């Protein structure tokens, strides 16, 4: 008897999330998402998470085994995972609703939260750079003024 998961499914096929084995995963990690069906980002193969893909919360081997004798699976065909192997599949609401969040580890939080954090971090970095640059600039101006004053005093002192 094979090892089974909490829903009685063989772990060999249901132990990893579709998200973890998806070829579009690097786009998710980079924050590159399809925003509308058939937009330029969809044609480039970006992540379908914002289009309602349930791969982050679905445990299945679709991306490994593929359907139709290994030909393809929904994400490879340009459609997000609909989570058909999960409990309550028929009651999970519309297929194209953006998941608000999903459980995970580390960077796996909502894409919107990641974007906000990165944006705030970049803004803080720019502000810190501007402040330190202006402080250093004022120091250089002060040093230059003092040097100029001393040079003028020397020149006047040398003429008398």
**What's the CATH number where 51 sits?**
4.10.480.10
Q: How many residues does the chain have?
A: 160
119 and 60 in a common domain: no
Binned at pLDDT 50, 70 and 90, residue 105 comes out as very low
Find out whether 28 and 49 touch, Cβ atoms under 8 Å: yes
In the block, which residue shows the tokens 């705030």?
120
Q: How far from 76 is each of 7, 15, 45, 60, 83, CA to CA, in Å?
A: 26, 20, 9, 15, 15
Same domain, 131 and 92: no
Q: Which of 108, 124, 148 is the last residue of a domain?
A: 108
Based on the domain organization, do 53 and 102 belong to the same domain?
yes
104 and 116 in a common domain = no
Q: Are residues 158 and 80 in the same domain?
A: no
**pLDDT value at residue 24:** 92
Higher pLDDT, 101 or 98: 98
Closest to 95 (Cα-Cα) out of 48, 157, 135? 48
Same domain, yes or no: 85 and 98: yes
* Cα torsion 96, 44, 64, 114: sign: negative
Residue 62: pLDDT above 80? yes
Please determine, for residue 127, whether its predicted confidence score (pLDDT) is greater than 70: yes
Residues 75 and 154 in one domain: no
90 and 23 inside one domain = yes
Q: Decide if 59 contacts 86 (C-beta within 8 A).
A: yes
Question: How many domains are there within the chain?
Answer: 2
Checking if the pLDDT of 153 tops 50, the result is yes
Say yes or no: 75 and 121 in one domain.
no
Q: What is the distance between the alpha carbons of residues 35 and 48, in angstroms, rounded to a whole number? A: 8
One domain, residues 123 and 139: yes
Range of the domain at 65: 1-108
| Percentages (nearest 5) of helix, strand, coil residues in the chain | 50, 5, 45
Query: How far apart are the C-alpha atoms of 50 and 33, rounded to whole Å?
Result: 6
Q: Average per-residue pLDDT in the chain?
A: 83
Are 125 and 70 contained in the same domain? no
Tell which of 85, 108, 131 closes a domain: 108
Residue-wise pLDDT tens digits, 39-60: 999 999 999 998 989 888 889 8
Confidence grade of residue 132 (pLDDT, cut at 50, 70, 90): very high
Both 130 and 77 in one domain: the answer is no
């Amino acid at each position: 008897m094979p090892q089974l998961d909490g829903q009685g499914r063989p772990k060999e096929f249901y132990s990893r999330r579709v998200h973890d084995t998806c070829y579009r995963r690097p786009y998710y990690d980079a924050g590159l998402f399809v925003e509308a069906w058939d937009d330029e980002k969809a044609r480039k193969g970006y992540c379908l998470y914002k289009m309602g893909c349930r791969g982050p919360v679905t445990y299945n081997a679709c991306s490994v085994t593929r359907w139709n004798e290994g030909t393809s699976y929904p994400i490879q065909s340009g459609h997000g995972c609909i989570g058909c192997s999960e409990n309550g599949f028929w009651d999970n609401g519309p297929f194209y609703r953006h998941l608000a969040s999903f459980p995970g580890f580390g960077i796996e939080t909502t894409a919107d939260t990641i974007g906000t954090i990165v944006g705030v971090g970049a803004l803080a970095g720019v502000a810190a750079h501007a402040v330190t640059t202006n402080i250093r600039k004022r120091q250089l101006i002060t040093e230059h003024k003092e040097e100029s004053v001393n040079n003028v005093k020397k020149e006047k002192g040398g003429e008398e």
